[in-house]
Amino acid sequence: METTSTPVLRSALILKADRLASETLRLALHKLAPGVQVVTTHTVRQAYDALARSRFDLIVTGLDASLEGDALQLIADHMNGLPVFVVGTQLEYRTLVVLQSLPIRGVFDASTEGPEAFHSALRAVICGQRYWSKAVQDRVDRELTAAQSICQHLSNTEQLVLSVLGDGSDDSTAAQALGVSPATISTFRRKLHRKLRVQHRGELMRVAAINGFVRFTPSGVVRPGFAMLAAECLARKRKRRAAAEAAVTAFMLENTPEQHLLRPAALPLKSA
């Protein structure tokens, strides 16, 4: 996508673990917007700190495992209309799911597009346009709607449990992490084994890692988008509970004689 508009950009935050890559991004920003103030960070924690101190007009970020944290959660926490330009390669299934659920303006696949396309994409995003690399958009359209995709096979709660069991946790450890009983985790584990057609814990870990539900990094296990998935599960649980309570109330109102519906507070008080 080519645009002739002159980009207006005062400040930008770069989050990229590789220092050479982050310097390349910084130079690209200065080329498109010469007066831009750029802050470069190399870990998710550094990016959170920078965002707490300053306001930015744009976030340019990678999503690789070496960022020592969940960059997807960082994006979700700090978007609020702030343009985000994601630069990555070989995005996993779980990452694609989260990216398409957020109003992210730009996603650039560096493995399928070259420098010229990158500058056009960055310019488009700065100028307020949307740019998703064709390879990424094709994968979203193909993989997230396919009958065999994980999101078609597993409920959100099952995906949440997979994110926890995917690091090899036993039932007790997973139960403690999710605030449920080991028996509940055991039930979910059996469901996951059946739906994903795996036989043992090692195979379940492999499926979770390949699809990006867990990442094993030098700084520990990262579960991309885990907090967002947990919040969505909680919201659905509360919605179901509210619907159930409303149904019970409606049933009682329909089946209780009118004289029994008087509130105790409406009755006269007896003298002591």
Question: 254 falls in which pLDDT band (50, 70, 90)?
Answer: low
pLDDT value for 272 = 41
Res 265 pLDDT > 50: no
Average pLDDT over residues 70-86: 91
Return d(Cα 230, Cα 156) in angstroms, integer: 8
Question: 173 falls in which pLDDT band (50, 70, 90)?
Answer: very high
Residue owning tokens 């409303």: 246
> What is the set of domains in the chain, with CATH numbers?
11-143 (3.40.50.2300), 151-222 (1.10.10.10)
Return d(Cα 124, Cα 51) in angstroms, integer: 23
pLDDT value for 266 = 42
pLDDT value for 62 = 95
Q: What does pLDDT average to over the chain?
A: 87
Q: Give the contacts of 101 (CB within 8 A, at least 6 positions apart).
A: 228
The predicted-structure confidence for 9-21, as pLDDT tens digits, reads as follows 999 999 999 999 9
pLDDT value for 251 = 54
**Largest Cα–Cα separation, the chain:** 88
Average pLDDT over residues 23-29: 95
Q: Give the contacts of 70 (CB within 8 A, at least 6 positions apart).
A: 44, 222, 223, 224, 225, 226, 227
Q: How many CA atoms lie within 13 A of 133 on its CB side?
A: 26
DSSP state for residue 110 in the 8-state scheme: T
Res 214 pLDDT > 60: yes
Res 271 pLDDT > 70: no
DSSP state for residue 62 in the 8-state scheme: -
Return d(Cα 7, Cα 23) in angstroms, integer: 20
Q: How does 52-78 read in b/e, with b if 16+ C-beta sit within 10 Å?
A: eeeebbbbbbbbbbebbbbbbbbbbeb
Return d(Cα 25, Cα 15) in angstroms, integer: 10
In 3D space, the residue among 143, 183, 177 whose CA is nearest the CA of residue 161 turns out to be 177
32 C-beta neighbours (distance < 10 Å), count? 17
Q: Output the DSSP codes for 158-175.
A: HHHHHHHHTTT--HHHHH
Average pLDDT over residues 29-50: 96
Res 270 pLDDT > 70: no
